[in-house]
């Protein structure tokens, strides 16, 4: 294997691995592990419970507390139903852009970090560089917590984390959190001409969805005008619903999925408790008064904390110094940054490419963005080399 790949060459290689979240990412992890081993870098796998996927982390530099984690996820979103002009897993270049699934979100950052490993090794680092590659970010950020726990258990403990989601190399210091809930409702079916003897699961769902919409409206009315997020309040949204058997039968079953996008600092547990309390107090008693078999089950499918803006946070301080970006930047989508922060690590989001390209057909990253990221990593390397060991 050619050990000295450019970020462009490395990105083409990473794109060639179909790591859509419903597939294994082990072929990509095999490649990265072999690549690092060829450079004399030992890496650690953190497998999923099923063993079909794995995260990977590695440390370069002195085994001392401090230093930086460079974090990326390896999974990508599906391509089915999208109108791609070429094979999404065979990268191509045109007009200063590199195309392929994951080019922007977020194999571009992972590729640049991996291509810079020889430079990390040749530098006189006073504090280490940690590389962290996770799985299943796109389906709820489920792979990163075991990765972080393994890193921290093995030590040493890093100072800060840079999550390289596409921000055009701007420093993003805050993002909303998300909790995804699946609500399953069992009603009592009867012929609709005898509606009073039945319980419609769809009607119950309508009451719950109305509650969600009402809470969003309340949050909008009470929003802080100085809040930097767009929109500047927590939103509760039903995106998927299915249920019912026929127009003349009260629906026996209904299921819908809700996402709640929370402002940083708000409690997921508080929102889930409020939702369940409304069910138990206002909806379920009337249903069970007709049939004791009626029930409502709420299942948590994802729980990703928001990224809080830190006062004098190490990650933000370093990233602003190295980029020159002193603007207040926040985003409404969720990342693994809040999970690193929940584990006690200072974190920011800063990476190449635009979020506008994420999840799109003919996804691309401008090659100039890869160059900007490489220059940022050069400055980070120099910064870590200036620290007395």
For the question of residue 75 being annotated catalytic, the response is yes
What order of strands is seen across the sheet that includes strand 295-304? 235-243, 253-262, 177-186, 295-304
For the question of residue 149 being annotated catalytic, the response is no
pTM: 0.90
What average pLDDT does this structure show over 236-246?
A: 96
What average pLDDT does this structure show over 90-103?
A: 98
For residue 3, name the pLDDT band (cuts at 50, 70, 90): low
H/E stretch holding 332: none
Q: What is the token pair recorded at 267? A: 């409690």
At residue 387, the pLDDT reads 59
CA gyration radius, the chain? 24
For residue 265, name the pLDDT band (cuts at 50, 70, 90): confident
The alpha carbon dihedral of 356, 360, 362, 365 has a sign of positive
**Candidates 33, 105, 136, 137; catalytic one:** 137
End-to-end CA distance of the chain: 33
Closest CA to 297 of 259, 328, 265, 257: 257
Residues of the chain above pLDDT 70, percent: 98
Is the per-residue pLDDT at 166 higher than 70?
yes
Q: Is 242 exposed, middle or buried (0-12, 13-18, 19+ CB in 10 A)?
A: exposed
Question: Among all chains, which residue has been given the structure tokens 């004791």?
Answer: 292
pLDDT digits (tens, 9 = 90+) for 353-369: 999 999 999 999 999 99
Higher-pLDDT residue of 386, 69: 69
pLDDT digits (tens, 9 = 90+) for 282-339: 999 999 999 999 999 999 998 999 999 999 899 999 999 999 999 999 998 899 999 9
Is the per-residue pLDDT at 218 higher than 60?
yes
**Candidates 33, 75, 159, 363; catalytic one:** 75
For residue 4, name the pLDDT band (cuts at 50, 70, 90): confident
What average pLDDT does the chain have?
A: 96
At residue 386, the pLDDT reads 81
């Amino acid at each position: 294997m050619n050990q000295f790949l450019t970020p462009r060459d490395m990105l083409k290689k990473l794109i060639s691995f179909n790591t859509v979240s419903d597939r294994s990412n082990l072929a990509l992890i095999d490649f990265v592990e072999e690549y690092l081993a060829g450079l004399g870098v030992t890496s650690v796998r953190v497998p999923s419970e099923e063993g079909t996927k794995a995260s990977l982390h590695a440390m370069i530099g002195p085994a001392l507390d401090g230093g930086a984690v460079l974090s990326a996820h390896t999974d990508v979103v599906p391509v089915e139903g999208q109108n791609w002009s070429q094979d999404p897993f065979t990268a191509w270049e045109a007009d200063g852009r590199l195309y392929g699934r994951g080019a922007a979100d977020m194999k571009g950052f992972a590729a640049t970090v991996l291509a810079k490993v020889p430079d990390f090794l040749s530098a006189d680092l006073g504090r280490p560089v940690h590389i962290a590659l996770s799985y299943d970010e796109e389906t709820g950020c489920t792979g990163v917590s075991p990765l972080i726990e393994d890193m921290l258990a093995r030590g040493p403990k890093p100072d800060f984390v840079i999550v390289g989601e596409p921000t055009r190399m701007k420093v993003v210091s805050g993002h909303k959190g998300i909790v995804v809930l699946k609500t399953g409702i069992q009603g009592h079916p009867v012929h609709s001409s005898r509606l009073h003897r039945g319980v419609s699961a769809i009607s119950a769902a309508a009451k719950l969805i109305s509650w969600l919409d009402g809470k969003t409206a309340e949050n909008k009315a009470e929003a802080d005008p100085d809040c930097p997020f767009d929109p500047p309040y927590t939103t509760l949204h039903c995106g998927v619903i299915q249920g019912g058997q026929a127009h003349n039968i009260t629906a026996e079953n209904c299921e819908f999925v809700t996402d709640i996008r929370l402002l940083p600092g708000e409690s997921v547990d508080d929102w889930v408790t409020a939702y369940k309390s409304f069910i138990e107090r206002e909806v379920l008693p009337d249903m069970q008064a007709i049939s004791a078999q009626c029930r409502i089950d709420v299942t948590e499918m994802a729980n990703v904390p928001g990224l809080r803006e830190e006062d004098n946070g190490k990650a933000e301080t370093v990233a602003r110094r190295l980029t020159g970006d002193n603007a207040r930047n926040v985003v409404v989508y969720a990342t693994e940054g809040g999970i690193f922060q929940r584990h006690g690590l200072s974190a920011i989001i800063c990476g190449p490419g635009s979020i506008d390209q994420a999840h799109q057909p003919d996804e691309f990253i401008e090659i100039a963005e890869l160059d900007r990221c490489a220059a940022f990593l050069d400055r980070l390397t120099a910064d870590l080399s200036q620290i007395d060991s």
